[in-house]
Amino acid sequence: MVLQFFPNIPLNWMTVRTLSRIADKLKVLNEFDIRGKKTLAEQLKKYGANVDKMNEYVQEIVEYFDIGPVDRDPYGILNRLEYIIDLSRFRLRSLLKSYAPNIDEGTLSTLENTAAVANILHLINKVAKHYYNLAKKFRNFYIAQQIEFIMPQLIDLAKNYYKALPATTQQIPIGDGIGPLVIANMYRKYNVAEVKDVGNEMILGEAYFENRKLLLMKAKGPGGTVGKPGASVKQIVDLYKDAIKVIITIDAASKLEGEETGSIAQGIGAAIGDPGPEKYKIEEAALTYRIPLVAIIIKQGFNEAISPMVKQIATKVDEVIERVEKLIREMVPEGGMALVVGIGNTLGVGNGA
Amino acid sequence: MSLKEINETFKEISSMKPLSLLKCTKCDEKLERSYKEGEYATKVVEDKCPKCASPMYVKLIYVNPPPQPQSSY
Ligand SMILES: [Zn+2]
């Protein structure tokens, strides 16, 4: 009865309640953030970072950002994007190297992964806090409600990124590494004695399969890198031209809710989830010589792609190889050549021999 | 998910034990054992094939997924 004369009271009360529920969940995001930073600090320390300056170093890394290119004038945007991505990586690597002077090149890529995870855990926490504070500042129920709605997804996201940390610190493969893992297993299966470094952190091994030549490509392991497969595919295709009868890309791909982890599917196009430049180069190289572009994907949830590889995914390796062999029998005549590329992070996956 | 529940997650993550699946370089024999630090897929390890005593290499590294209780956040 009294409330009828003060219509704002119930809404304010609900706002306060909602904010207090959000505050509880923010504690969880904060905990992920703190643990991410702690793991990063431990890794930096392991490679000789100055302990006195640790807080400063960690802060610098988790606040690191890059700014995407302007897209109002899309002309040449992929070149600018590629430049920004390269530059960002180069700068982050130099930063890490200056903080952790005892690190070697291979491990640096893995530390880069740890840094990226700590950075994103910090970002998630920061953004959630921002909206919480905004809702509090303006006593705005609707902002509070929106942040409360997406909180479960944010916590899930943070949890999944956090799960990637033990993989990066122990250097074990993550779900996304299934593509490189398939190629590494092909090196073993066909007794590839030597792999060549083809630049852009990519390697290439040559094998023979039923009178056909296979060019098997992956990022250089076992450090955590994806390399630049587009640049390397272009380089190899420019070299062998239409002697290559098919380009097969193998990659982890997002499954829909309800689909089975580790299920395999085949289609057309370049299976690669980069922001654009690498995919563009693969498509362009294939188009120039009219080479068919076939994609094999191994489905998994986003959480599975960034955390240590589960058995259900890893044990699909032989089945994927069988599929590749079948494709090659169908599409490449005897005496012909096929380029097979394992796309993804090669963390914990070596280079064969 | 509360802070208490999240501690369960941290426990679960730290108890996650990676496994290495070894394969013989000569025959088809396979062997699963705990992952040892410094190992990576394709690396030849000290273990010898129980069947033919040839060197073995790491074919796969994986974890057994933890049971997924559907928690409400
Ligand atoms: Zn054997």
Domain ranges of chain B: 15-59
For A126, the token pair is 């920061």
* Pair (A212, A87) in one structural domain: no
H/E stretch holding A20 reads helix A8-46
With cut-offs at 50, 70 and 90, classify the pLDDT of residue A352.
Answer: confident
Q: Is residue A351 part of a domain?
A: no
Q: Indicate whether A79 and A194 sit together in one domain.
A: no
* Percent of chain A residues past pLDDT 90, beyond the cut: 83
Q: What is the ipTM of this complex?
A: 0.90
pLDDT at A353 over 60: yes
pLDDT value of residue B69: 54
Give the pLDDT of residue B32: 96
In a domain, A78, yes or no: yes
Same domain as A156, residue A247:
no
- Statement: residue A262 has pLDDT above 70: yes
Q: Which whole number is the average pLDDT over A151-167?
A: 91
User: Structural domain tally of chain A?
Assistant: 2
Chain B contact probe: residue of A29, A104, A172, A316 with most B CBs at under 10 A: A172
Q: Computed over its alpha carbons, how large is the radius of gyration of chain B? A: 17
In contact, B48 and A198? CB cutoff 8 Å? no
Last residue of a domain, one of A141, A170, A199: A170
pTM of the model: 0.91
Shared domain for A117 and A163, answered yes or no, is yes
B21: left (phi over 0), alpha (psi -120 to 50) or beta: beta
Judged against a pLDDT cut of 90, whether residue A341 lies above it is answered with yes
Instruction: Output the 3-class SS for B16-29.
Output: CCCEEEEEECCCCC
Structural domain containing residue A28: 2-170
Look at residue A171 and tell me whether its pLDDT is greater than 60: yes
CATH number of residue A247's parent domain: 3.40.50.1470
Q: Choose the final residue of a domain: A170, A191, A207.
A: A170
- Give the pLDDT confidence score for residue B73 in this predicted structure: 54
Please say if the pLDDT value at position A182 is more than 90. Answer: yes
For residue A89, the 8-state DSSP code is H
Q: A64 near A93, Cβ under 8 Å?
A: no
Question: Does A156 contact B42 at a Cβ distance shorter than 8 Å?
Answer: no
Ion ligand 1, residues whose Cβ is below 5 A away: B 24, 26-27, 29, 49, 51-52, 54
Same domain, yes or no, for A192 and A145? no
Average model confidence (pLDDT) across chain A = 93
Is A353 within a domain?
Answer: no
**Shared-domain flag, residues A251 and A189:** yes
Whole-number Å distance between alpha carbons of B27 and A310: 26
CA of A11 to the centre of ligand 1 (A): 72
Domain co-membership, A77 together with A183: no
Assigned domain for A352 exists: no
* Residue A3 banded pLDDT, cuts 50, 70, 90: low
Inform me whether the pLDDT recorded for B1 exceeds 80. no
Of A154, A170, A186, the one marking the end of a domain is: A170
Higher pLDDT, A303 or A340: A340
Same domain, yes or no: A97 and A180: no
The four Cα atoms A164, A167, A171, A172 give a dihedral, to 10 degrees, of -120
pLDDT per position as a tens digit, B45-59: 999 999 999 999 999
Band of residue A335 on the pLDDT scale cut at 50, 70, 90: very high
pLDDT band at A223 (very low <50, low <70, confident <90, very high): very high
In chain B, count H helices and then E strands. 1, 4
